[in-house]
Structure 1
Amino acid sequence: MKNFQNKKVVISGGGSGIGNAIINELYHKGTRDFAVIGRNVDKLKRLENDFPEAIFLLFQGDISKPNSIHEFVNVISNSWNTVDVLINNAGVVSAGSLESISDDDIVAQININVTGLILLTKHVLPLLKMSKEAAIVNVSSGLGLIGMPFYASYSATKGGVRLFSEAIRRELKDFPIQVITVYPTVTATPMMESAKTDAMDTPDLVAQQTIEGLQNNKIDVILGGDQRLEDVKKNINDPKEFDKKAATMYEALLERTSNHRSM
């Protein structure tokens, strides 16, 4: 996808963080029509002030609830004849030892990070198929490529996003729909405010690389540079050897996740 002018974009979790940065990047490339679902109405309304030339379809809803998705897509269908870009960005995290994470938090991570993403894609898909040039952007995580201690349930959901992207890309081979998966590293978003860590990427960097990936027809955008690519390769080819590296990070991850929850 080379041109973002006159595109109609649907995004989940666009009120802050990476989602907001992606809206900003698209806005500066000429996109003016956005449909945004989020749980915080104040963050949604702020979009209209931040991007005054854009036309927003704002919907307060929770993608973990199928009824919210159905209502949101009905709003879109009543206003637009097509969708050009779907950005599945909404996500939550509850980290720590598996035994310490509540059952409700485990279920919520699955419902928002995976089930809601799949259902939103399913119900927007007929509108994407009406576009002459469409794209689905699924925001996963570096922890969807490499499972790390104290992120077991979160990694499971983000790994699910990775495989869903792979499967749906192959399923849609007869349609002009690009499917791209984004794997951010630790990023300075509200989701990370409770994590004890310093070195973080910016949401703007993730957004820029995401849009570049769309423009260059990539299927994966992996943040973290050459070291992350090397780690991913080692984790696939010699997982027991990578276990040793993970062990050296154990105490730091234990400290980072001692209060890392953004639900």
Structure 2
Amino acid sequence: MTETASKVVLITGASSGIGKAIAEFLQSKNFIVFGTSRNPSNQESSFPLVALDVTKPETIKSAVEEVIASAGKIDVLVNNAGIGITGPIEETPDEEIKKAFNTNYFGPINVIKAVLPEMRRNKEGLIINVTSIAGYMGLPYRGIYSASKGALELTTEAFRMELKDFNIKMTNIAPGDFATNIAAGRYHAPVTEGSPYEKPYGNTLKIMNQHVDEGKDPLLMARAVLKIIREKEPRAHYKVGEPLQKFSIALKRILPDKVYERLLLKHYKL
């Protein structure tokens, strides 16, 4: 796909954090940018925000129709909307597990389904799914989050092969820890006094929050997205983050399972 001033980009979850950084950066590069938010009337932005809640299919349909009516097409979809979730799996309520998967997995899939007919009509398109480096490994007290992002990574691999005849490209971009408000917005299972997980989960939660607070500038993600848009044949997977976080994926491929598990336990002081 070639970069032109008329290329239309739809970015879900663009009211803050990584999504907003991507939207503002692409707009500065003369792309026509539409972001989404569950409550756009409550947000201020330099680009149009349309109402969309990825857990409500009817809002996905209306948002995609609104963008097409306004801009005439959708060239690029950045599936960014997502939520965090932490806690011992045993103590995480079923409804919170389902909410995480509805937002991080089923939601993006439904947005993809909504834009594909339009991209097929245009005989080209690019879909970028924002996953997570956590999706490459089962992290302690982030198991549900890892699973939801890992599921999207694998589904993208299958989708790429199913879409090859339509000139529609799809890829994953997996961020590590970035300085955003995700920690404030995610579900935390409470650190319960007397729980068998009280001490290890409490300590791990502090480490996770510290990693986010010390995370990279979201502008790095925005630049990576622009690079992907400019590529003629995007790869299936991209990673953006600290060198150690990206290296951890390579280590998982080559180390015996028990050795890798010990490294994770040491990292989280468990």
Pick the TM interval, shorter chain.
0.7 to 0.9
With 219-228 and 62-71 compared, the bigger mean Cα shift is at 219-228
Q: TM-score under structure 2 normalisation?
A: 0.82
Partner of 2:54: 63
| Structure 1 segments unaligned to the other structure (5+ residues) | 253-263
2:263 to 223, 227, 245: 245
Q: SS at 1:150's partner residue?
A: coil
**What are structure 2's unaligned runs of at least 5 residues?**
186-207
Are residue 127 (structure 1) and residue 118 (structure 2) matched? yes
The answer as to whether partners of 1:82 and 1:130 remain within 8 angstroms in 2 is no
| 1:233 equivalent in structure 2 | 250
Contact 2:23 2:35 in 1 (8 A): no
- Look up the match of 1:173: 164
User: Equivalents in 1 of 2:146, 2:12: separation in Å?
Assistant: 20
Q: Which residue of 1 aligns with 2:98?
A: 107
Aligned residue identity for 1:218: P
Q: Any residues of structure 2 matched to 1:217-232 within 5 Å, and which?
A: 217-219=233-235, 220-224=237-241, 226-232=243-249
For residues 125 and 132 of structure 1, what CA distance do their matches in structure 2 show? 10
Distance 1:9 1:186 in 2: 24
What is the Cα-based RMSD across aligned positions, in Å? 2.0
CA deviation after TM superposition for structure 1 residue 193, in Å: 4.0
Deviations 1:113-160 (A, max 9, x none): 100100110011011223354210100001111221011111110001
Task: Please report how far the alpha carbon of residue 31 of structure 1 lies from its aligned counterpart in structure 2 after TM superposition.
Answer: 0.8
Deviation >4 Å, runs of 4+: none
Cα 1:43/1:162, change in 2 over 3 Å: farther
Report the CA distance shift for 1:176/1:43 in structure 2 as closer, same or farther (over 3 A). farther
**Counterparts of residues 23-62 of structure 1 (less than 5 Å):** 23-32=23-32, 34-42=33-41, 44=43, 46-47=44-45, 50-51=46-47, 56=48, 58-62=49-53
State the TM-score, normalized to the length of structure 1. Answer: 0.84
Matched with 2:200 is: none
Task: Report how many residues are paired.
Answer: 243
| Deviation string, structure 1 residues 171-191 (Cα, Å, up to 9, x no partner) | 111122221211100111111
- Out of 108-117 and 132-141, give the one that drifted further: 132-141
Instruction: Map residues 156-167 of structure 1 onto 2, 5 A cutoff.
Output: 156-167=147-158
